[in-house]
Amino acid sequence: MSTVLGKASYEAAIAATRDERMAWWRDARFGMFVHYGLYAQLGRNEWAQSLENFPVEEYAKLAETFAPKPGAPREWAKLAKAAGAKYMVLTTRHHEGFSLWDSKVNPFNSVNYGPHRDIVREFVDACREFDLKIGFYSSLMDWHHPDGWKCAYDNEARRRFLDYIEALNVELLTQYGHVDILWYDVSAPMESWEGWDSLVRNQHLREIQPHLIINDRSKLAEDFGTPEEHITAASRDWEACMTFNGISWGYVDEEQSKEYAYTAPRILKMLYTCTRGGGNLLLNIGPKPDGTVPKDAVGPLTAVGEWLSRNGEAAYGIHAKEDKYGWHGGGNGIASGTRSADGKTFYLWTWIWPHGGEMSLGGFRTAPKRVSILSTGKEIGFEHDGERIKLRGMPERCPDPSGVAVIKVEFDKEPEYRCFSRYPQLSGI
Ligand code: GLC
């Protein structure tokens, strides 16, 4: 094993390879999270064991009745592909401590209990079949392991537990071939990278898979930030992880949760906000006890995928890092935009199609060369008047069946743009 670098040198070393390692991730913009484990059987949130103070032995009985139906991971991957997601992240072992793979270091696993199957293997095979990048969620906190809490105050327990955590992750990164993302979660009870020995462990793991992308939840900044249940842009790479209902990551009764479920336009709005801010959207599904995807997720996700097959150019591969120009008012207005990396193309996502098809784009001092509906390629007439592009002959109704269309505005060069140009007091100029 090579020498372990100090924190500053390690961070410089991974920063030097980041652009190359993360090129696909920055193009992807959209991934699917899957929270699946014993907790699906309770249907009361993946934190139920802790929230309801289950004795460990009582909770562990769920391992015997855990019964994923054959082909469940394939169903997830098929849906992810249909949704237009480019990668998936599976909870290989959530806080409950149950490994969904054939682990030698954790006998509490899905090969020894329940289905007697390696669910991670099935997941990996399904991702490869549908050409999706592979992400492994891996909890640091563990409610099943006897040292899971003791590690905070007993040094021997800490050593044992850290060896255990390392061994679990080594298994994940050696048993399944090429893995793209390691998605750590919850660093309780130690709460520091020193406590978790993250510097040493992450270097070991990167030696096994040098192209690996690691998130920021082992208390080191690593490759990307992970805003949870909110979409907040950052100057570094980031990925917003969102539940499907604002209630739970793990399965909860679908008849009730469907009232909270996101619709296709709401998902597109989230995807837009992430894309515009230079981030990714990792949208979760919480499969039912047998692994079936809740109905409330299937329809909207499929519609999002169909939308992306028509309009993906406005999201995939967009690397906007700054809010250079756009069309967005309070609540983002009726429409708002992303732009291509070279700044020459502006994609206006219309949340509400303008009544009667009448609309202008303010702030552009440069005339476009072409304006069209992205999904159909149909041109829209325009007139450039000072700092205003007046669109002419737009369809009366939204031309996209989802209710969200994209107007593509192309320029010969990066346009001169000044938002609020008529009202300088608003823009501070
Ligand atoms: C949290 C929760 C968890 C969920 C995760 C997803 O930290 O503990 O249940 O898996 O976030 O981001």
Ligand 1 atom having least distance to the Cα of 229: 12
CA 287 to chain centre: 17
Query: Hey, what are 209's tokens?
Result: 């898979």
Instruction: Give nearest CA residue, ligand 1 atom 4.
Output: 249
| pLDDT at res. 425 | 54
Query: Hey, what are 283's tokens?
Result: 């949208």
The single-letter code of the amino acid at 60 is: A
Q: Identify which of 50, 186, 242 to mutate to test ligand 1's pocket (most ligand atoms within 8 A of the CB).
A: 186
Q: Which residues contact 301 (CB under 8 A, 6 or more apart)?
A: 32, 79, 82, 83, 267, 283, 285
The single-letter code of the amino acid at 305 is: G
3-state secondary structure of 406: strand
Ligand 1 atom having least distance to the Cα of 94: 10
Name the β-bridge partners of 406: 349
Query: Hey, what are 121's tokens?
Result: 């293997």
Instruction: Give nearest CA residue, ligand 1 atom 8.
Output: 186
Instruction: Domains for the chain: give ranges and CATH numbers.
Output: 7-314 (3.20.20.80), 322-426 (2.60.40.1180)
The 10s digit of each residue's pLDDT in 38-79 is 999 999 999 999 999 999 999 999 999 999 999 999 999 999
Q: Which residue has the tokens 């699906």?
A: 40
| pLDDT at res. 356 | 85
The rounded Å distance from CA 264 to ligand 1 centre is: 23
Sheet holding 381-384, edge to edge: 359-362, 388-392, 381-384
| pLDDT at res. 307 | 98
Ligand 1 atom having least distance to the Cα of 137: 10
Q: Does the predicted TM-score (pTM) go above 0.75?
A: yes
Residues of the chain whose pLDDT is less than 70? Answer: 1-2, 321-329, 419-429
**CA distance to 56, 141, 191, 348, 392, per residue, from 146 (Å):** 10, 12, 18, 54, 69
| pLDDT at res. 334 | 87
Phi, then psi, of 334 in degrees rounded to 5? -85, -10
| pLDDT at res. 333 | 83
The rounded Å distance from CA 420 to ligand 1 centre is: 40
Q: Identify which of 36, 183, 228 to mutate to test ligand 1's pocket (most ligand atoms within 8 A of the CB).
A: 228
Task: Please state, in angstroms and rounded to a whole number, the distance separating the CA atoms of residues 297 and 287.
Answer: 10
The rounded Å distance from CA 115 to ligand 1 centre is: 25
Given the DSSP bridges, would you call strands 87-93 and 133-139 parallel, antiparallel or unpaired? parallel
The rounded Å distance from CA 171 to ligand 1 centre is: 22
Task: Please state, in angstroms and rounded to a whole number, the distance separating the CA atoms of residues 270 and 232.
Answer: 11
Task: Please state, in angstroms and rounded to a whole number, the distance separating the CA atoms of residues 194 and 243.
Answer: 30
**CA distance to 65, 322, 405, 411, per residue, from 343 (Å):** 55, 11, 20, 9
What would the DSSP string read from start to end of 97-126?
--BSS--SS--SBTTTSTT-S-HHHHHHHH
The ligand 1 site (C-beta within 6 Å) comprises 35, 46-47, 185-186, 228, 241, 249
Ligand 1 atom having least distance to the Cα of 284: 6
334: burial class by Cβ within 10 Å (0-12, 13-18, 19+)?
Answer: middle
